[in-house]
Amino acid sequence: MPQPFPTIAKQKHPLDWSITPNSQALTELAKGIWDCAVQTNQRPLVLLSTAGPLIGVRAALEQHRPKDLPSKIAFLPQVISFADWLEAAPGAWKFPKKQSDLERWLSVYINLRKHPKLKAWFKAESNSGAWGLAQAVIDACDALSELVVPQLQDELNTLLEAHSLDAQAWLKKVELVLDQAVAKAYVGLSRNIVDEESAVLLTFWRYLTSIGDPIIRKHLAMATHLQAAKENAKNSPGTARPFIWVQTADPKPVDQELIDSYLREYAQYATVVRVSLDWQTVALWPEALCGQDAEGEIVIADTSEEQQVERNINSSRHEGWRLLAARRFEELAWVAAKSIESHLVDKKKNIALVAQDRLAARRARALLSRLGNSLRIRDETGWKLSTTRAAAAFDSLLELIRAPKEGPSANVLLEFLQNPYFDLARSLQNSPQVCVDLITQLEDILLASQAKSGWETFIAAIDKANGYASTHGGSPNEQFIKLIQFAKKLHLAWQSPLLECSSAYAQLQNSLEEAGMAQRLEKDAAGKQLLEVLKRFDLSGGPYKDLKMRLPEWLSLLKTVIEEAAYEEAGKEAEATLSILPLSSTRLRGFDAVVVIGCDEQQLPAFSEPPLFFSDALNRYLKSSTITAQYIQQARDLSQLLVTCKSVDLIWQSKSKSGEPLRPSAWIQRLQVVLKKKIPWEVVEVKLKPFEGQSQPIQKSVSIPDLDLRIPTTVSPSAYKALRDCPYRYYVSNLLGLRKVKEFEEGFDASLAGQTLHALLRNFFQALKTEEKKSHSTIHGGSDARRQWMIEHLMKFSDKEFEKLIAGDARILGTLRDWQKQIPSFVDWQLKRENEGWRYHDAELSVGFTLSITDPNGIKQDIRIAGRADRFDIHESDASAAAVIDYKNQKIKKITQRAENILDDPQLLIYARGATENPVEARIPGREVEQAEWVTLRADVKDAEKIVRVHPVEDMPAVMAEFSEQVVNDLNDLWARKPMKAFAPDSVCQYCEARGVCRKGMW
């Protein structure tokens, strides 16, 4: 039976009224508030202890507005949450400035620096861990303040007038209270540990507590509201607005005491009604009915209470409860999504998804997103801003900023450049047309040369690519260098050892502006909120503006603050709304249907993380929230939800990750036991229906090139090798042009070193040729002098070529040193070669030959087989002899294996035939290549006597004849579009990019 609203007379104490938290609760409350308005002929002020039911209460008031109200009370009573009411305190502008969370963290930081004892305690923490701990310290200090500040109400009142506070006396009281708390809670524990912990916390409390703390501001705000009521009662008697306090959730004991004494005082100046919730006919478990006693223990229910609970269960709307079990996580989310869909089909408009299991709720949300705009999803569980695209883009900038002074890794750089908020055209001050594909091309360049990190490495890679383009008929693109320089400038601006907090913020804004990110973030909903969060770092006008910290500390603080921030989705009109919320947010709210996901024994009830510094017993002493209080509150919230809502789906995962069976929450099991006596409440096992089909064994992949598929008329040595290795691979990579997305490999890649060695050898031999022309050069002073000159200069050339790479990645120094150990023996090999009459002639020349093929249509096709030879030598005494050399940055053993399969990898044969057939192109007119050799740049130099530097192609005329016949056959088959089969030894398949296409391993 609903309790009638009390009759208001001239009481000087709060009137108590309770409502039943069932489906009629809001109606009952609204009627009571209107009753109060009518009785007092004043517009009541209604304060809700939690903000959740705010809209529901206003709507109910509107709906139940009595007819023919006097004009004075015709307006809707003012309904406001407690937090908003505190903010609206009269004269709040006079209060000490409110400290933001960031400022409080910074004060922890400053105190850590000032006090070595505290620093030692924090020593083990990383930057981000330290900021997390700072938050825990602040929470603990607030818990202490909550206990202590009410005892200081008189001092606070004085403070209101005098703006001063005897902090020392205050601290003494706190110390006393904490000592008592510690003594009571930690009896039996080692005094040392307890003492250290409490001493550290007290020290923090002493240093951190300021009148800008939220707890102290709360008390100041309450005191000013009271003062205003007092003055109003004095100046205009009989006009005080009734004050209705609605206790929507069980308060912490410390808050209960505070609000009780406040209401008592307020009742001296105005009508005060305290509205509480009556669980008598709603509680579905004894703990929800009886609550806790003064000692914080659950009250044991007597027989009549147990009978009452049973009556409540039996009279509840249990026909609308469904108990659904899913075995796996995916099924769990799927069941939730399906339940919500079925409610939507039943035309339910206002649905709640209670996220006991947040992960599964997120997954269900993702599954529901396919319903599009017809369903509006409001996530009240706090969608983190850090999970948005805008925050990820911003993070890419922070990663660039925090890179070491040599420069970022290529991945970090590309991540930043590819973020969708980076405005390339603006950054380069160029037109968007010029910038098309620029970043993709840059990525290709860096990948091709495996330039993994460092500004100098990136520039060297671009120089090489530009150099290659200019010598091969392309045009070098200066925009690459401009782009790297832009990013480098952005990065270098952050390279000071210590940052001043205020200038760091200005600098960050600058960086965002320069990269065009500020403008783009401004146009995006999440971006806008991100920029708002960043504004908190504008400390220019505050006490921390000169605070200095190291860049990693500042960046970590920035990331922690963003991590804490929630993203608020913009509302949009839709046919139905799904609210994803925690159980506590369902209080006094009406929904057409509710789906609770995660109702297993591990997640329902769910307890908040225990405070880092206080045990549950100490919390109890400090009158904070305890596990028992949370347990009772959740039992009440769930009772209210089940009793209020017509349709509730309780879903749980019946198997844990480790495969162990999981039962539903004990609360659900207890309901099952009671309901069993009447009608069984069955669990519905939900299973995804498997799709059935018959598979056929996969056969070896074979493809016949389509007639429309263009076959390239130029074949490089590597393409020909691919064709020989596996025709299917050639089909995938060369005919279809499919490429695997390249990645930067771990560790330093040898290909960049290989390219550098090739370049420095070319430069060295060209310099040698020039030197030989100088008649007075020391090079003409005998073989020792020539050897000396060669070693010295090859060393110098090596240092110079590698210099930039080492600046970008110091690990490359090892590669240089390894190569420099090779130089003496390399020079010896060169001298030996010279003694045999061979002279270096030219390097890196493009050579090839042309074959004529007739395709199936009878059309003659000229196929050019060509590549770039590393080096040509000519013979001094034989005017018709030339040799081709291929440098290999490989051990001689690998080269020997290569030589054994020369017909499948005929690179040297292609150069030799190309140069012989086109001597002018190879710049050896009148000569024929009669010698072809591989030269290792990684010979084993441990034993000077056994060094093997070179491996020649043996029996070249015979091999060449065989190759010439083979290549014609291969190309004829290709142009005849014969089936191209996947076939290769595992050694080839191991590194094959087409493996995913040919499905080797499945057949």
Show Cβ contacts of residue 792 under 8 Å, excluding neighbours closer than 6 positions.
none
In angstroms, rounded to a whole number, what is the distance separating the alpha carbons of residues 142 and 148?
Answer: 10
Provide the minimum distance between the beta carbon of 983 and ligand SF4 in the complex, in angstroms, as a whole number.
Answer: 6
Given a contact cutoff of 8 angstroms between Cβ atoms, the answer to whether 243 and 80 are in contact is no
In angstroms, rounded to a whole number, what is the distance separating the alpha carbons of residues 422 and 419?
Answer: 6
Q: Count residues binding ligand SF4 (CB under 6 A).
A: 13
Question: Where on the phi/psi map is residue 437: left (φ > 0), alpha (ψ -120 to 50), or beta?
Answer: left
By beta-carbon proximity to ligand SF4, the closer residue of 734 and 756 is 734
By beta-carbon proximity to ligand SF4, the closer residue of 616 and 993 is 993
By beta-carbon proximity to ligand SF4, the closer residue of 744 and 983 is 983
Provide the minimum distance between the beta carbon of 503 and ligand SF4 in the complex, in angstroms, as a whole number.
Answer: 56
Provide the minimum distance between the beta carbon of 959 and ligand SF4 in the complex, in angstroms, as a whole number.
Answer: 24
Tell me which DSSP letter residue 320 carries. G
By beta-carbon proximity to ligand SF4, the closer residue of 481 and 736 is 736
Provide the minimum distance between the beta carbon of 904 and ligand SF4 in the complex, in angstroms, as a whole number.
Answer: 12
By beta-carbon proximity to ligand SF4, the closer residue of 953 and 984 is 984
Q: Which amino acid would we find at residue 243? A: F
Rg (Cα) of the chain, in Å, rounded? 40
One character per residue 702-741, x = contact with ligand SF4 (rule: CB under 6 A): ------------------------x-xx------------
Q: Which amino acid would we find at residue 655? A: K
By beta-carbon proximity to ligand SF4, the closer residue of 949 and 1000 is 1000
Tell me which DSSP letter residue 679 carries. S
Q: Token pair of 817, please?
A: 């040193």
By beta-carbon proximity to ligand SF4, the closer residue of 695 and 987 is 987
Provide the minimum distance between the beta carbon of 976 and ligand SF4 in the complex, in angstroms, as a whole number.
Answer: 20
For β-strands 702-703 and 714-715, DSSP reports them as: unpaired
**b/e for 38-66, b at 16 or more Cβ within 10 A?**
ebbebbbbbbbbbebbbebbbebbeebee
Provide the minimum distance between the beta carbon of 963 and ligand SF4 in the complex, in angstroms, as a whole number.
Answer: 21
Helix (H) / strand (E) containing 846: strand 838-854
**b/e for 297-330, b at 16 or more Cβ within 10 A?**
ebeebeeebeebbeebbeebebeebbbbbbbeee
By beta-carbon proximity to ligand SF4, the closer residue of 200 and 998 is 998
Judged by CB under 6 A, the residue of 108, 583, 953, 992 near ligand SF4 is 992
User: Count of alpha carbons within 13 Å of 867, Cβ hemisphere only?
Assistant: 21
Provide the minimum distance between the beta carbon of 655 and ligand SF4 in the complex, in angstroms, as a whole number.
Answer: 38
In angstroms, rounded to a whole number, what is the distance separating the alpha carbons of residues 892 and 573?
Answer: 72
By beta-carbon proximity to ligand SF4, the closer residue of 673 and 738 is 738
Provide the minimum distance between the beta carbon of 739 and ligand SF4 in the complex, in angstroms, as a whole number.
Answer: 13
352 — phi, psi (to 5°)?
A: -115, 140
Provide the minimum distance between the beta carbon of 740 and ligand SF4 in the complex, in angstroms, as a whole number.
Answer: 11
By beta-carbon proximity to ligand SF4, the closer residue of 741 and 920 is 741
One character per residue 434-463, x = contact with ligand SF4 (rule: CB under 6 A): ------------------------------
Q: Token pair of 314, please?
A: 């039996």
User: Which residues sit opposite 378 in a β-bridge?
Assistant: 579
Could you say whether residue 1000 binds ligand SF4 (CB under 6 A)? yes
Provide the minimum distance between the beta carbon of 992 and ligand SF4 in the complex, in angstroms, as a whole number.
Answer: 3
Q: Which amino acid would we find at residue 450? A: Q
Residues between 952 and 991 with contacts to ligand SF4, criterion CB under 6 A: 982-984, 988-989
Vertex 414 angle, CA 411 and 419, to 5°: 125
Vertex 150 angle, CA 147 and 156, to 5°: 130
By beta-carbon proximity to ligand SF4, the closer residue of 362 and 995 is 995
Provide the minimum distance between the beta carbon of 702 and ligand SF4 in the complex, in angstroms, as a whole number.
Answer: 11
Q: Give me the residue label for tokens 């009878």.
A: 858
Provide the minimum distance between the beta carbon of 886 and ligand SF4 in the complex, in angstroms, as a whole number.
Answer: 23
Provide the minimum distance between the beta carbon of 715 and ligand SF4 in the complex, in angstroms, as a whole number.
Answer: 18
Judged by CB under 6 A, the residue of 106, 995, 1002, 1003 near ligand SF4 is 995
Name which of 129, 135, 138 is nearest 556 in CA terms: 129
Burial class (CB in 10 A: 0-12, 13-18, 19+), 206: middle
By beta-carbon proximity to ligand SF4, the closer residue of 864 and 995 is 995
Helix (H) / strand (E) containing 17: strand 15-19
State whether residue 79 is helix, strand or coil: strand
Provide the minimum distance between the beta carbon of 990 and ligand SF4 in the complex, in angstroms, as a whole number.
Answer: 8
By beta-carbon proximity to ligand SF4, the closer residue of 118 and 980 is 980
Given a contact cutoff of 8 angstroms between Cβ atoms, the answer to whether 641 and 354 are in contact is yes
Chain-centre distance for alpha carbon 65: 50
Show Cβ contacts of residue 727 under 8 Å, excluding neighbours closer than 6 positions.
980, 981, 982, 983
Provide the minimum distance between the beta carbon of 902 and ligand SF4 in the complex, in angstroms, as a whole number.
Answer: 19
820 — phi, psi (to 5°)?
A: -65, -25
Show Cβ contacts of residue 283 under 8 Å, excluding neighbours closer than 6 positions.
289, 308, 309, 312, 635, 636, 639
By beta-carbon proximity to ligand SF4, the closer residue of 724 and 804 is 724
In angstroms, rounded to a whole number, what is the distance separating the alpha carbons of residues 58 and 49?
Answer: 15
By beta-carbon proximity to ligand SF4, the closer residue of 558 and 723 is 723
Residues between 769 and 828 with contacts to ligand SF4, criterion CB under 6 A: none
Stretch that binds ligand SF4, among 137-145, 567-575, 609-617, 992-1000 (CB under 6 A): 992-1000
Stretch that binds ligand SF4, among 293-301, 585-593, 639-647, 994-1002 (CB under 6 A): 994-1002
In angstroms, rounded to a whole number, what is the distance separating the alpha carbons of residues 223 and 86?
Answer: 10
Provide the minimum distance between the beta carbon of 736 and ligand SF4 in the complex, in angstroms, as a whole number.
Answer: 12
Provide the minimum distance between the beta carbon of 852 and ligand SF4 in the complex, in angstroms, as a whole number.
Answer: 29
Provide the minimum distance between the beta carbon of 714 and ligand SF4 in the complex, in angstroms, as a whole number.
Answer: 22
Q: Which amino acid would we find at residue 755? A: Q
Judged by CB under 6 A, the residue of 19, 46, 531, 998 near ligand SF4 is 998
Question: Where on the phi/psi map is residue 422: left (φ > 0), alpha (ψ -120 to 50), or beta?
Answer: beta
In angstroms, rounded to a whole number, what is the distance separating the alpha carbons of residues 505 and 503?
Answer: 5
By beta-carbon proximity to ligand SF4, the closer residue of 159 and 992 is 992
User: Which residues sit opposite 888 in a β-bridge?
Assistant: 936
Stretch that binds ligand SF4, among 76-84, 361-369, 955-963, 993-1001 (CB under 6 A): 993-1001
DSSP string over 529-549: HHHHHHHTT--TTSTTTT-EE
By beta-carbon proximity to ligand SF4, the closer residue of 908 and 982 is 982
By beta-carbon proximity to ligand SF4, the closer residue of 247 and 701 is 701
State whether residue 885 is helix, strand or coil: strand
Given a contact cutoff of 8 angstroms between Cβ atoms, the answer to whether 839 and 874 are in contact is yes
Q: Binding residues for ligand SF4, per CB under 6 A?
A: 726, 728-729, 982-984, 988-989, 992, 994-995, 998, 1000
